[in-house]
Amino acid sequence: MSVPVERTKSGFHQRRWVALSGGVGGAKLSLGLARILGDRLTVIVNTGDDFEHLGLHISPDVDTAIYTLAGLVNPETGWGRRDETWTFMSAIAQLGGPTWFKLGDADLGMHVERTHRLRAGESLTAFCADACRRFGIAACVIPMSDDRVRTVVDTDRGTLAFQEYFVREQCQPTVRSIRFHGAEGARPSAPVLAALADPELGGIVVCPSNPFLSIDPLLAIPGLRDAVLASGVPVIAVTPIIAGRAVKGPAAKIMRELGLEPDAVSISGHYRGLIDGFVLDACDTGQERQIGVPTLVVNTLMRTLDDKIELARACLGFCERLVARPGRAQAHARAKAGS
């Protein structure tokens, strides 16, 4: 079931737009953006969560984006497919295999076909483009890189591969630091660079994804970060923290563990030098005074499709009212050097 694009045209439709996204939280806003923009949207997705499991290449955030935009996602979990069956998992359990990472029967098709095509030499980017076409997705969903980047989490229980930390250990260990193996040497793919250098680009929206686990891996790829900074269009970020809490997942817990106050001010500070505007939730009215860039205060909690479209429209309008700060690349370098 593909999701139809909004019919009414506005100024947004004259330009192209990029969203930077992780999994569940990012996909919610991406869906709103896709409903407004259709094929004028490119979603660049984190692949630091990717891993090899049961001989398969699993790419969770990319799949979450694709299933969400295709209208196929499991609405309860936000990942995996709706109306899923679990015969494969039962068979694995019966044989004493690992069951901590749940692969549904229909979802399995994605992993098997992707693994097979990657082994035959196809790129992850090409596979995603083909999957999007087959699922009837007008927007472009592209992985941040075709090179291998793996998020690892240093915790009080040792260094864990990302999915060991997130799914197997349920984010319980205390986080000391987060690293992105391979990011320094990874290159953004040609479609990523083309989307960010598009002369028709209107703006870049950093989705309300987990900044530490989902957005930092993208920005850790030097060529990608530089392309965002050099884009010359407004960059905005949407808060994943509302009233001191994450809507879902470990963002607030990780912030406390890293010595940060879990609030919108800290999130905006994390993106200092990168963003030209910040979207915070109406629950956090008052905090805008402590945020060093122009702010938009709106409802950011996306329960329904209408919420997603409304927030997306607000983000695009906000971006259109902003100008990219000149010298952003230099300011960002200075902020990082000083932090």
Residues at the interface with ligand FO1 (CB under 6 A):
22-23, 49, 58, 60-61, 63, 79-80, 101-103, 107, 163, 166-167
Min dist. Cβ of residue 325 to ligand FO1 (A): 30
Q: Contact at 8 Å (CB) between 203 and 313?
A: no
- List all residues 6 or more positions away from 23 whose beta carbon is below 8 Å from its beta carbon: 46, 49, 60, 61, 64, 65, 78, 79, 209, 214
284's contact among ligand FO1, ligand GDP, none, with CB below 5 to 8 A by partner kind, is: none
Q: Could you tell me the end-to-end alpha-carbon distance of the chain, in angstroms, rounded to an integer? A: 46
Residue ranges in 26-45 that form contacts with ligand GDP under rule CB under 6 A: 26, 28
- Strand bridging mode 295-298 / 277-281: parallel
Q: What span, in angstroms and rounded, lies between the C-alpha atoms of 119 and 117?
A: 5
Nearest to ligand FO1 by Cβ — which residue? Answer: 23
**DSSP code, position 161:** E
Q: Does 24 bind ligand GDP (CB under 6 A)?
A: yes
63's contact among ligand FO1, ligand GDP, none, with CB below 5 to 8 A by partner kind, is: ligand FO1
240's contact among ligand FO1, ligand GDP, none, with CB below 5 to 8 A by partner kind, is: ligand GDP
Secondary structure of 211-260 in HEC code, one letter for each residue: HHHHHHHHHCCHHHHHHHHCCCCCEEEECCEECCEECCCCHHHHHHHCCC
Site string for ligand GDP, 290-319 (x = CB under 6 A): ----------xxx-----------------
Stretch touching ligand GDP by CB under 6 A, among 24-32, 143-151, 156-164, 224-232: 24-32
Q: Does 246 bind ligand GDP (CB under 6 A)?
A: yes
Is the alpha carbon torsion for 155, 45, 272, 150 positive or negative? positive
Min dist. Cβ of residue 27 to ligand GDP (A): 7
Min dist. Cβ of residue 207 to ligand GDP (A): 6
- 102 vs 187, which CB is nearer to ligand FO1? 102
Nearest to ligand GDP by Cβ — which residue? Answer: 25
Min dist. Cβ of residue 205 to ligand FO1 (A): 18
List Cα–Cα distances, 113 to 56, 60, 122, 124, 134, in angstroms. 9, 15, 11, 11, 13
HSE (CB half, 13 Å, CA atoms) of 212?
Answer: 27
Question: From the list 15, 17, 25, 271, which residue makes contact with ligand GDP (rule: CB under 6 A)?
Answer: 25
- 12 vs 165, which CB is nearer to ligand FO1? 165
* In the block, residue with structure tokens 């196809």: 122
203's contact among ligand GDP, ligand FO1, none, with CB below 5 to 8 A by partner kind, is: none
Stretch touching ligand GDP by CB under 6 A, among 4-12, 128-136, 179-187, 239-247: 239-247
**DSSP code, position 287:** G
Q: Does 210 bind ligand GDP (CB under 6 A)?
A: yes
Min dist. Cβ of residue 211 to ligand GDP (A): 8
Q: Does 248 bind ligand GDP (CB under 6 A)?
A: yes
- Scored b (16 or more CB within 10 A) or e, 49-80 reads bbbeeeebbbbbbbbbbbbbbbbbbbeeebbb
Question: Which positions touch ligand GDP (CB under 6 A)?
Answer: 21-26, 28, 61, 208-210, 214, 238-240, 242, 246-249, 251, 300-302
